[in-house]
A and B are shown apart, each in its own frame.
Chain A
Amino acid sequence: MRRAGGFRGALAFSSALPLAGCTGDLSALDPAGPFAAAVAKLWWLMLAGSAAIFLVVLGLFLLALFRPGALRRVAPSGWIWVGGFFFPLVTLVALIGHGLMRGEYILNLEAGGEPVHVEARGSMWHWDFRYAEGARTSRGILHVPVGRTIVVTATSEDVIHSFWAPRLGGKIDAIPGHAATVRILADHPGVYGGICSEYCGTGHEGMVFEVHAHAPEDFEAVLAGLPQDRQAAR
């Protein structure tokens, strides 16, 4: 059997991948706000841990095949209990606890004063955004002030869609009959990409939107310039 040349090749290849860059308008690895940044940090932590665990397990396997002498000094039950039970238990309890803490942080952070409430109404195949209980609307572009928590309520007129602005926060499904919320926050003014993340028919990939983050002093003016919602309150 040939040595694990394939493995070395894969390792070399994968280290070249980061050169492809993590940036991008829709990249979760290019965060532009604290929620997305919290997740990105969690990702890098888990990546490092996973790489280490993977290398150790693979290394043990290769040793077992080719140089078992060192491994034989530990009894089989030792391998099973320490490697298979205690180590994963400790690691997982720590990781799960950490993950849940990050989750609570994302669910509860209110920066910059009162959160701004926006409704993101998905339909096949565009997004309509409604501000201030429907007083103002915009299509395809979500206007938000910088530095304040935005609570996005996702609703749907037809099938399930999903609101996702990766650089600003996680995604939330827009399910007809429900109104679930997600929090996003932009640290700096700019334009950030968004995309529907639940298959909703042949127009799914075209169901994109943009988040325009404005300096707080500009936000009110932008809002005032938006059309009023012609529909009566739903």
Chain B
Amino acid sequence: MTPAPRNTALRLHRELTAIWGTPPGWGRLQAVNHTVIGKRFMLTALVFFAIGGVLAMLIRTQLATTTSAFLDAAAYAQVFTMHGVVMMFLFAIPFFEGLAMYLLPKMLGSRDLAFPRMSAYGYWCYLFGGTFLVGALVAGVAPDGGWFMYTPLSSATYTPGINADVWLLGITFVEISALSAAIEILVSVLKLRAPGMSLTRMPIFAWYMLIVAGMMLIGFPPLILGSILLEAERAFGLPFFDPARGGDPLLWQHLFWLFGHPEVYIIFLPAAGALSTIIPTLARRPLEGYEIVVAAVIAIAFLSFGLWVHHMYTVGIPHVALSFFSAASGLVAIPTGVQIFAWLATLAHGRPRLSVPMLHVFGFLFVFVLGGLTGVMLAMVPFDWQAHDTHFVVAHLHYVLVGGFIFPMLAAAYYWLPHIFGRRSVQHLSHAAFWMIFIGFNLTFFAMHLTGLRGMPRRISTYPPEAGWETLNFVSSMGGFIMTTGFALVALDLLLLALFGKPFRRNPWQAGTLEWAMPTPPPAYAFASLPEVSTRADRIDPDRLAPTLAAGKGYLGAARHGWMEVLGVDMVTGRPEQVVVLPKRSYLPLVTALATGSFFALLLIKLYWIAPLALLAVAALFLLWTRDCGLTSDLAGLPVGHGPDLPHHYQSERPPSYWAMIFTLTADATLYASLLFGALFLWLSAPNWPPGGIDIPFEVFTCAAVALALAVVAATLGPAPPTDRGRVTKRLYLAALAYGVALIVLVVFLVRLSGDASRHAAIASIFAVKCYAVVHIAVGLLLTLFCTWRVRAGYVAAGRDLDLRLARQWHLFTLVAGLAALAFPLVLKLLTGGAG
């Protein structure tokens, strides 16, 4: 066997590092590498966790004694609201996003995620949005209506200050980051894997993240829609939630919890995925029940969308409807139990090693199972009628979140920090730290179940001595201090590991997954050459594989043209089908995130006329991103080291961006469906319908003109484009003209409607639906003009028409959405029996 020459591996390492690496100094602002961005997400999330923890200690200090004067009611309201906001939006999701970004390409045998600049953009949006929110806290104008911001308390009448706007705009800003991460994870897991890694050979963590990303895609749009509608109500008076004008506070609750319930499973499942990876390694036995676990995670994903009303059992919904949600809330414990018993079976039949991560696995099991059991209790409607909005719920939610997320993430930290820093822990702080957190946590929250059942509601800043809650609260507060000390010890322990831990050779846990088949800390390019996978990806031998890959013996084992290359594979079989050339590092994500932030900032300070300019800047910047994408001439197939030559992704049938567009439109459609259903909900449930004395506008001329224009777009850009450049350009111009006509007609209609829109929710709904259409038509117009530029610049030819195909998806979606928007007022008219 030819000895793998070390100078080949070294040369390859240098070339690839030059291509994939991040320059030092200011150059770090250009980073798009998943390892760098993943670490940034996790580190920033930990900073926010510390902030959330300080807020928690303020709460416990306030509640430790009766009639405490530590914080007044207004300040306390900001504290408890921000504690929830910071933990849920700025810590939990970004942290697991960072972990997933860091781990997935490595576990899947690829070099990076599908859209590196999007990863960077997502990070900057998260950082700026989070700074927004925490900055507001420092300035004393933080949101103060509870982390779920029920209306009418959060409407302009009862929260006149910008506190609620900070929440609405800040959270939406951060959620852009989450949605873009979801789309990226979906595409990366489906398309960018090692050759031979079929779907059912993927590491189980990839399945979890694939499913979680799908949940995020469907779960976040309702929240984004709700935030837009509430901000529109606060800023412009569109009465979606005002019952006096046909709105309904319940609409907010439905939209929020439609997001809110899947959100907590979105938080739990990645942690469960980490456990499904760590436990088999520590048990030295591959995961039992891989297939049933995947089926169970799919079940949880769907069931979790059928639970949301269990947060609303006390609003007066009829019992039969409540029963759907109660039964589903109970049944969801079954797939959860399947996973727990899969882990137990793996441990029982394996040879478990008692190590620090295992300690945290114990912490998870103890705490999460208790939390799950109280969850089943709360799922029972009559019990919830007593326990809802008391400290019993606070106890439950902390048990499931700390048990189901914090402890698994601590296990993951101890398990993967050696990978991130290339060092092992030598301290025994780890044990003391764990026990302090564990004991402190249980002290704080176990007693709280009783506190709640003895009648203490949520969100009160003081309570009288005669309530009899003081002892319990004092115990909880003492526990809180112990727990905080424990977290501080963990932070110290991990810092010591990172700085002074023992370096090790490779694979300290003798794991069977791909991320260990590389040097640790990992190089920027992850794999010098990509492996071929022929077994399940948790039965790999990283120690034997690593030197082979480092020597360039796998796929893509050479630097070519200075390109950042990964392999695109068939989604199901893992057969390599394209070479995906990723865009290089750039300052554009940072600049675009700044522009996006300025749009939200302008809205916050109510400069509504300038804000659209910021939006145009964002659009222009995004179009600038495309400079690095595409080919101006046909390219022959590229050799990849093994097997047949493969096409460049720009010339392949379904490149990553194709799927990204499909998933984006899926999220978009979810938002639209939420809007349409939301309006129908108002007809069904809100008072003061039908609108008295206000005509529901349905203008035949407007509808006909817009429908015709959209039909022209569909006719010109729907069918496959001709090969002749001139004819393609003609069609594009015609479509642009049609879009322009539709845009003008609709904008005129909206301007005329704007006077009535604040009078009743029916009009406001029509206004919102038509605005949605306008936005899509405007973007369609932009895309059409962009395509003409791309054609003229030579990016488009037969077999190289990706730009046209991506835009076509948008056009078809806009056609359907536009026609629905035109028909919508007619539907409302029919439902309300004609004009008011």
CA gap between A107 and B288 in the complex, in Å: 46
CA distance A20 to B326 in the complex (A): 31
Chain B: residues with Cβ within 8 Å of the partner, total of: 97
CB distance from A107 to the nearest CB of B (A): 6
Residue of A10, A36, A164, A177 most packed against chain B (CB within 10 A): A177
Any B CB within 8 A of the CB of A72 = yes
- Residues facing B in A51-94 (CB within 8 A) are 53-54, 57-58, 60-61, 63-65, 68, 71-72, 76-77, 79-80, 83-85, 87-89, 92
Contact of A61 among B158, B365, B454, B468 (CB under 8 A): B365
**Contact pattern, B 518-545, Cβ under 8 Å of A = 1, otherwise 0:** 0000000000000000000000000000
Identify the interface centre among B153, B331, B365, B443: most chain A CB within 10 Å of its CB: B153
A168-207 residues at the B interface, CB under 8 angstroms: 169-173, 175-182, 193, 195-205
A24 interface contact, C-beta 8 A: yes
**A102 close to chain B: CB less than 8 A:** yes
A233 near B: Cβ within 8 Å?
A: no
Residue B250 CB within 8 A of the other chain = yes
Known: A1-B359, A196-B457. A84 touches B340 (CB 8 A): yes
**Residue from A38, A63, A158 in contact with B382 in the complex, judged by beta carbons closer than 8 Å:** A38
A222 close to B (CB within 8 Å): no
Number of A-B contacts (CB under 8 A): 280
| A8-29 interface bits toward B, Cβ cutoff 8 Å, 1 = contact, 0 = none | 0110011001001111111111
What 1/0 flags go to B348-376 for Cβ under 8 Å of A?
A: 11001011001100100110011001101
| A65 to B348 alpha-carbon distance, docked (Å) | 7
B354 in contact with A171 (CB, 8 Å): no
Q: Cα distance A88–B345 when bound, in Å?
A: 16
A159: contacting residue among B158, B327, B345, B468, CB under 8 A: B158
Q: Residue on B with the closest CB to A171?
A: B314
Contact of A29 among B323, B338, B354, B454 (CB under 8 A): B454
Which residues of the partner chain A approach B385 to less than 8 Å between Cβ atoms?
Answer: 39, 106, 169-171, 182
Known: A100-B323, A106-B382, A158-B158. A27 touches B453 (CB 8 A): yes
Known: A84-B337, A100-B381, A171-B385. A195 touches B439 (CB 8 A): no
Do B74 and A202 have beta carbons less than 8 Å apart? yes
Residues of A within 8 A of B438 (CB): 6
The residue from B288, B326, B365, B456 contacting A80, defined by CB atoms under 8 A apart: B288
User: Using Cβ atoms and an 8 Å threshold, which residues of chain B touch A43?
Assistant: 377, 383, 386, 453
Give chain B residues whose Cβ lies under 8 Å from the Cβ of A99: 326, 379-383
Indicate if the CB atoms of A178 and B362 lie closer than 8 Å. no
B369 touches A57 (CB 8 A): yes
Q: Is the CB of B289 within 8 A of A4?
A: no
Q: Which of A54, A89, A205 contacts B369 (CB 8 A)?
A: A54
CA distance A172 to B388 in the complex (A): 10
One of B458-466, B699-707, B805-813 contacting the partner: B458-466
- A103 adjacent to chain B (CB < 8 Å): yes
CA separation between A207 and B207, bound complex, in Å? Answer: 49
Query: Hey, which chain A residues are within 8 Å of B344, CB to CB?
Result: 57, 60-61, 64, 71, 79, 83
Q: Is the CB of B455 within 8 A of A166?
A: yes
Which of A36, A88, A175 is close to B334, meaning CB atoms less than 8 Å apart? A88
Across the interface, A173 reaches (CB within 8 A) one of B145, B315, B387, namely B315
Question: Given the complex of chains A and B, what is the CA–CA distance between A80 and B146 in angstroms?
Answer: 40
A203, B381: Cβ atoms closer than 8 Å = no
Residues of B within 8 A of A171 (CB): 314, 385-386, 388-389
- Contact among A54, A84, A164 with B370 in the assembled complex (CB-CB below 8 Å): A54
Known: A28-B387, A60-B344, A180-B315. A84 touches B338 (CB 8 A): yes
Establish whether residues B460 and A28, one from each chain, have CB atoms under 8 Å apart when the complex forms.
Answer: no
Distance between Cα atoms of A79 and B289 in the complex (Å): 10
Verify B249–A65 contact, CB threshold 8 A.
no
Is B573 located at the chain interface by the 8 A CB criterion?
A: no
The answer to whether A68 and B348 have CB atoms under 8 Å apart is yes
Does any Cβ of A come within 8 Å of B471's Cβ?
Answer: yes
With contact pairs A36-B386, A65-B354, A99-B382 given, residues A173 and B316 touching in the complex (Cβ less than 8 Å) = yes
A160 touches B153 (CB 8 A): yes
Bound-complex Cα distance A37 to B41 (A): 49
Q: In the complex, what residue of chain A is closest to B323 when comparing beta carbons?
A: A100
Q: How far is the CB of B150 from chain A (nearest CB, A)?
A: 6
Residues of chain A within 8 A (CB-CB) of B158 are 158-159, 201
* Residues B319 and A29 in contact, CB atoms below 8 Å apart: no
Given A84-B340, A96-B330, the answer on whether A64 and B348 have CB atoms closer than 8 Å is yes
The 6 closest A-B pairs by CB, nearest first: A180-B316, A177-B243, A170-B385, A26-B455, A84-B341, A99-B380
9 A-B residue pairs with CB within 8 Å = A1-B355, A24-B467, A50-B373, A77-B289, A92-B334, A99-B383, A103-B319, A104-B319, A106-B382
- Beyond contacts A64-B348, A77-B288: 17 other A-B pairs, Cβ-Cβ < 8 A, are A1-B354, A1-B358, A17-B450, A20-B471, A24-B455, A28-B454, A28-B455, A54-B369, A68-B347, A71-B344, A84-B334, A92-B333, A96-B327, A99-B379, A104-B319, A106-B382, A177-B244
